[in-house]
């Protein structure tokens, strides 16, 4: 079974609303083994909607549309589907009566703010159906969905309101798709999470395995980069979960061997969660000193419950003089090397470790942007880690703008201590 998604609405094209419906549908379809090869957005235009449906059903078994089912003049999905099917719109009397009763129960107010005894006639455009189609019930709203047979395929039209769309898809569309697809396959995903390595390096390390499995078509390997980390998603389709796990196992094994210590966890593991787990295993604690990240690292470390068992606290020493007065960074170090330097990062880590009484001190200093600092380019970041075995530093050049540089710097810091704690 192959499906395409068409999201309808000028507001999606112009960025007024993010197309979250397509992302949700993509996940739901993938989880039941239904292929989603194409997802497009079209504006509120009958011809473009009809063309998108015709194109989709020229190469797929079904198309799912979201949006454009409301009562106003720019809700044109019904008309677009009728044109694609080559039929007329016909008023469904029974559906109109249901809508009249529904609007009466809602007791909506009119333009003056007074209660309306009669719903505007425009609302009942929602009872106009392409000839030969079937209305899908909407348990959470007024706009009915549609199931429209077109040639050898089928089109489903769902409301654009997310909670209405998800309810209708789950209750009406998904069961029909699975029936049409026959015996559904089980789809199992294994996600390996990496840090401290860019997406291109991950893909290069796994290139031999990708080349091996791609001709097979099952399993598949995808690379998902976000927030300074890269996820490797291995997906397998099978008759049952045990068979899928058997298909995934050799690919996961090869991926872990190729990526080595860059893999910090799998599935729902978080980098900060892994760090806390490693600290607990050692009976150790952590304190942080931040400059360019302004408290983001401490915030990340305290996102989860129970973090107080391993996290002592943090110092945001944003101004250069505070690095000396609060963290004890030697003025001579600041004078010789500047606030943005590996030497200052090392001193900050030692200072916060001593002052907050932690097993480890972790620090960040750098240039978030948009301007250079001390002649250092934007994206320059120095990290320091002080612990029982001494002080180490890591210096990186990050490629983003100010928000991304700050977020990526936090990942680099967490990865630094994660790798240190993972070493026997």
Per-residue pLDDT of the chain in tens (424 residues, 90 and over written 9): 899 999 999 999 999 999 999 999 998 998 887 889 899 999 999 999 999 999 999 999 999 999 999 888 889 999 999 999 999 999 988 888 887 777 666 655 455 555 555 566 777 888 899 999 999 999 888 889 999 999 999 999 999 999 999 999 999 999 999 889 886 568 899 999 999 999 999 999 999 999 999 999 899 999 999 888 999 999 998 888 999 999 999 999 999 999 999 999 999 999 999 999 999 999 999 999 999 999 999 999 999 999 999 999 999 999 999 999 999 999 999 999 999 999 999 999 999 999 999 999 999 999 999 999 999 999 999 999 999 999 999 999 999 899 999 999 999 999 999 999 998 8
pLDDT score recorded for residue 43:
96
CB neighbours (10 Å) of residue 307?
A: 18
- The HSE-up count of residue 311 (CA atoms within 13 Å, CB side) is 25
pLDDT score recorded for residue 347:
98
Burial class of residue 366 (count of CB atoms within 10 Å of its CB; 0-12, 13-18, 19+): buried
CB neighbours (10 Å) of residue 199?
A: 16
Here the tokens at position 325 are: 């007065």
**What is the residue extent of each domain of the chain?**
2-181, 186-266, 271-422
The pLDDT tens digits of the residues spanning 207-261 come to 999 999 999 989 999 999 988 899 999 999 888 899 999 999 999 999 999 999 9
Task: Mark residue 169 as left, alpha or beta (left: phi above 0; alpha: psi -120 to 50; beta: remaining).
Answer: alpha
Here the tokens at position 170 are: 């789950």
pLDDT score recorded for residue 114:
52
Sign of CA dihedral 332, 338, 339, 340: negative
For domain 2-181, give the CATH number: 3.40.980.10
**Could you give the 3-state DSSP secondary structure of residue 86?**
coil
**pTM summary value:** 0.78
Q: Which fold has domain 186-266?
A: Alpha-Beta Plaits (3.30.70)
pLDDT score recorded for residue 31:
81
Select from 239, 256, 257 the least CA-distant residue to 190. 256
Question: Distance between CA atoms of 92 and 127, rounded to whole angstroms?
Answer: 5
The pLDDT tens digits of the residues spanning 210-225 come to 999 999 989 999 999 9
CB burial of 107-140 (b: ≥16 within 10 Å; e: otherwise) equals eeeeeeeeeeeebeeebbbbbbbbeebebbebee
pLDDT score recorded for residue 105:
66
Is 271-422 in CATH node 3.90.950.20?
Answer: yes
């Amino acid at each position: 079974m192959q499906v395409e998604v068409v999201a309808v609405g000028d507001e999606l094209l112009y960025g007024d609303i993010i197309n979250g419906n397509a992302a949700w549908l993509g996940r739901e379809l993938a989880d039941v083994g239904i292929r989603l090869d194409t997802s497009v957005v079209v504006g509120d235009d009958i011809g473009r909607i009809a063309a998108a449906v015709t194109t989709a059903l020229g190469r797929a078994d079904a198309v799912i549309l979201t949006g454009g089912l409301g009562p106003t003049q720019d809700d044109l999905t019904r008309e677009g589907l009728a044109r694609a099917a080559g039929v007329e719109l016909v008023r469904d009397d029974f559906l109109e009566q249901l809508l009249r009763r529904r609007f009466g129960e809602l007791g909506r107010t009119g333009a003056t703010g007074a209660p309306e005894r009669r719903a505007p006639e425009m609302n009942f455009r929602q009872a106009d159906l392409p000839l030969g189609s079937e209305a899908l019930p909407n348990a959470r709203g007024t706009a009915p969905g549609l199931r429209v047979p077109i040639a050898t395929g089928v089109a489903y039209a769902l409301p654009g309101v997310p909670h209405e769309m998800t309810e209708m898809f789950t209750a009406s569309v998904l069961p029909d798709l699975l029936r049409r697809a026959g015996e559904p396959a089980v789809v199992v995903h294994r996600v390996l999470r990496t840090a401290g390595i860019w997406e291109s390096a991950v893909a290069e390390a796994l290139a031999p395995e990708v080349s091996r499995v791609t001709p097979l078509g099952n399993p598949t390997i995808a690379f998902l980069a976000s927030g300074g980390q890269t996820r490797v998603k291995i997906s397998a389709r099978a008759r049952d979960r045990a068979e899928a796990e058997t298909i995934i196992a050799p690919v996961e094994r090869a991926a872990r061997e190729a990526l080595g210590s860059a893999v910090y966890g799998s599935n729902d593991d978080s980098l900060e969660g892994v760090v806390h787990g490693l600290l607990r295993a050692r009976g150790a604690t952590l304190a942080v000193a931040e400059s360019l990240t302004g408290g983001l690292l401490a915030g990340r470390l305290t996102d989860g419950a129970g973090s107080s068992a391993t996290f002592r606290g943090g110092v945001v020493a944003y101004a250069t003089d505070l690095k000396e007065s609060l963290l004890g960074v030697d003025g001579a170090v600041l004078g010789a090397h500047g606030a943005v330097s590996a030497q200052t990062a090392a001193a900050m880590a030692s200072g916060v470790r001593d002052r907050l009484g932690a097993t480890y001190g972790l620090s960040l200093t750098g240039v978030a942007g948009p301007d250079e600092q001390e002649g250092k380019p934007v994206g320059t970041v120095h990290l320091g880690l002080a612990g029982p075995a001494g002080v180490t530093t890591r210096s990186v050049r990050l490629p983003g703008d100010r928000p991304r540089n700050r977020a990526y710097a936090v990942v680099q810091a967490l990865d630094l201590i994660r790798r240190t704690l993972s070493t026997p």
